[in-house]
Each structure stands twice: as C-alpha cells, then as structure tokens.
Structure 1
Amino acid sequence: MTIPRRRAVALLAALPLAACATPERKDSTMYGLIGKMRAQPGQRDALAAILLDATASMPGCLGYVIAKDKLDADALWITETWDSQDSHKASLALPSVQAAIARGRPLIAGFGERFETEPVGGHGLAQR
C-alpha cells in the first residue's frame, strides 16, 4: 500500500513520541488512537526506540503503548489516550515530536489500520 508523503507524516506525528504527562482532564471526553505502523524490513526495533524515546512531556497525553505485532516481524501497534482531541492536535507542533518525525520517517514502510476511539476509562488512565 502506498500512501502520500503528507499523510505518512501526519500519521507518524499522530503517534505519541515522548513520555506522556497526566494533567487533570478538563472534561469527560477523552480521545484515543490505535494504529499499525510497518517498519522497513529489519528496522522495527529501531523505529520502536525512536517512538519510545522520552524526549519531553506532552500535555494532555494520558498514556501510550508501543507493541510488537506477534505475527508480523516488521509491524508495531501504537495505542494512545489523550484528555482531548485538541491536546493531541497541539502535540503535533512540539519540537520533540517534529524531531522524532524526522528521525523516524526513513524507517517507516507504511501504515495499516488506524482507529479513532473515545476512551471511557480503564486501568492505568489518570483519574479526573
């Protein structure tokens, strides 16, 4: 699957790329993303390291998980939860996120499924 460069950059930017802060939520509507990212052959661990590199806090990020796909040696699943969609959008302008995008772009082969969700709660999420 081929995707336009702008879409690839936007999808990469949509993934959390730094340690998440857990500020108090302003309302009860959280925002979630779950997405699959395919690394260039043999580059999954290097790409995961870039995504996990804790370069800075991202206000409004309640949590993220980078997981290896057990059936695809080049795929990662990224699950993230935000206090709002606005917080997620604002994170895309952070210098640490922009730097991670630049570092990760050459290692990305493409993207798979991407789901937007509205988390309602769960173990590990910051409480209001």
Structure 2
Amino acid sequence: MYGLIGRMLAVDGRREELLTTLLEGSAPMPGCRSYVIARDPGSDNGIWISEVWDSREQHKASLHLAHVQATIAKARPMIAGFAERFETEPKGGIGI
C-alpha cells in the first residue's frame, strides 16, 4: 500500500471554502482505501489530507481523473501552498 499525508495551506480567510470544495469534489477513486480531509486545529489556514492507496501508481493515476482535475482547478485559487508532505507504507488498520 501507499500512503500520503500532507498539510495544505489555504489563502487567508478561505479555509472553509477550500474544505467545502475538496469535500464536494471527493468521489470514489480506483485503488483509494481512505481519503480524509481535516482542519488543522493549530492553524487558521491549515488543512491535513491523509490518503491510503493500494499502490503509488493508482494515486498517480487518480490525478488524471476528470472529477479530480475539476476539483484541483476549482480549488487552486484558494490554495496558498503546501507546508508538509509525508509518504508512508501502510500495513493495515481499521477501515483500510
């Protein structure tokens, strides 16, 4: 399995709008076992995104899906940047 945990930063004052956009754009993706979007309680602009995939290749392929491309395009003006990014190798757990 392939895991990705990233901290995204919203443009000042647009975190809730960005969260809504990301959540509304979420849809089933081949190979995606878990996709969690969360507020960073320690930051007014921070968002954590945690993902678990069957493989790194399936994650990469998901970036080309039409609904993912549309969500990225809609969210881009609300994204100030990316603060942190961690790749993991999940071994199992609840809901995986």
Contact 2:37 2:47 in 1 (8 A): yes
Matched, 1:78 2:49: yes
Matched, 1:101 2:43: no
Q: Which has the higher strand share?
A: 2
Which structure has the greater CA radius of gyration? Answer: 1
The aligned counterpart of 2:6 is: 35
Contact 2:25 2:68 in 1 (8 A): no
The aligned counterpart of 1:20 is: none
The aligned counterpart of 2:24 is: 53
Q: Provide the aligned length of Structure 1 versus Structure 2.
A: 96
Tell me which of 105, 113, 125 is aligned to 2:84: 113
Q: Which runs of 5+ in 2 are unaligned?
A: none
Q: Which runs of 5+ in 1 are unaligned?
A: 1-29
Q: Where do 1:10-21 residues align within 5 Å?
A: none
Question: Structure 1-normalised TM-score?
Answer: 0.72
Moved over 3 A (4+): none
CA-to-aligned-CA distance 1:12-70 (integer Å, 9 cap, x gap): xxxxxxxxxxxxxxxxxx00000000000111111111111145321000011111111
